[in-house]
Chain A
């Protein structure tokens, strides 16, 4: 969500928790058009809090787009790669919206609400305006009827805040600190509607860290209240710095780095989120990519050194031939390994393939490894 306030020092928005971050002394930085906290204490401490106990993130910058109406399901299934028919109220589904050429508009969550033909789409902050325009444009024509889809599309991003509570103690925290007893009953990728001061509170067992956790959607005012209660209970505030190290270790892609208009789900190894026994925009292109193969694939690479492969560094063969580029890389905090995601020539994408990464003046040997570096701990 956004308060749609423009900061004096630029065209940046603030979330409803902006003042809280400043008061906590967070290191603030622009991200996706918002002034966001990168870290409060240290990225390592915050990362370890989420892996070991519980941490919380302001993710109010994310976008919320509601779609409802008689043809809402048919419409979403037309623009979304995953299959939402037969998926029950209270469930959450991950997938992408693609362009006709298979490139990715965005990756997103689709929530099937408890009222028939009501859905919530949660999209990346950087893509809210683009996604909204894309969705409106696609809704203008139902290829089956030649008419617009019969549904209403409401970009409500400005009206919602969001806090992610993540870590092995997340369930205990939301149940005991926030009194959200229903949270304990939720399976992974499900949600329920609670209330806070008479306002809707969406409690969703989802996240972007590789740990168990919840994402709480509320009005801006109630989001601030929830934040204060969690903080008072000792939940560690965590910035976007460790959000990235956590999601990276868990093998989760970030739009813009591992998915984009140029990087399709097939290239990114996310074909399992595309369902080909239905029609959706981009299906033909993705099927062709699957059948003919793609020129580049996203892989994991580990190097035998503490040097850090970072986004943009070249991936090479032993003779110096460039075969790809790093998209995200760290010296993994939880694993103490120098690992990265890289987009490489598909001929060199098989597990165990030796590859070299150029880091400044030197070249470090490594090999292709599984992208899920860290064993995730989701609620079954």
Chain B
């Protein structure tokens, strides 16, 4: 049973979004980190990179496989979680606490396409 945080928005590709001070804080769900297993590397974009909704902005790597990260919104990267560069396993420890990037959104209306916690819970079948 994986943890699902109330009040966040979720994508079908298992990213979560928290809107904070007008920025979209983006991470991956607890379900996703469990599926991946031990995360050994987080491939992140650079600050000022423009990313499109649904486009890959990085990847999580486990021993065995790489999983692309898809941006739930479009916008400009304003911050990346540098901590994860040296300690990628933090995503396993707490996938909600350890966000990956913060994005200044082009269009907050895109958030309407995401799921709430209940809908996401139903999607992963837990």
Closest residue to B45 on the A side, CB-wise? A361
Find residues 344-360 in chain A having any chain B CB closer than 8 Å to their own CB: 359-360
Closest residue to B42 on the A side, CB-wise? A306
Q: How many B residues have CB within 8 A of the partner chain?
A: 15
Closest residue to A336 on the B side, CB-wise? B40
CB distance from A38 to the nearest CB of B (A): 7
* B contact residues around A306 at 8 Å (CB): 40-41, 85
A307, CB-defined interface residue at 8 Å? yes
Report whether A43 and B37 are in contact in the complex, using a CB–CB cutoff of 8 Å: yes
Closest residue to A245 on the B side, CB-wise? B63
Closest residue to B68 on the A side, CB-wise? A360
Report whether B61 and A360 are in contact in the complex, using a CB–CB cutoff of 8 Å: no
A226, CB-defined interface residue at 8 Å? no
Closest residue to B65 on the A side, CB-wise? A310
- Categorize the interface residue count of chain A: 10 to 19
CB distance from A336 to the nearest CB of B (A): 10
A360 to B41, CA, bound (A): 14
A356 to B35, CA, bound (A): 30
A to B CB contacts below 8 Å, 23 in the list: A42-B37, A42-B38, A43-B38, A43-B62, A43-B64, A44-B38, A44-B63, A306-B40, A306-B41, A306-B85, A307-B41, A307-B43, A308-B40, A308-B41, A308-B66, A310-B65, A331-B61, A333-B63, A359-B43, A360-B43, A360-B59, A360-B68, A361-B56
Find residues 316-359 in chain A having any chain B CB closer than 8 Å to their own CB: 330-331, 333, 359
Report whether A241 and B43 are in contact in the complex, using a CB–CB cutoff of 8 Å: no
A241 and B66 in contact, given A306-B41, A331-B40 (Cβ under 8 angstroms): no
* A contact residues around B85 at 8 Å (CB): 306
CB distance from B19 to the nearest CB of A (A): 27
Find residues 280-330 in chain A having any chain B CB closer than 8 Å to their own CB: 306-308, 310, 330
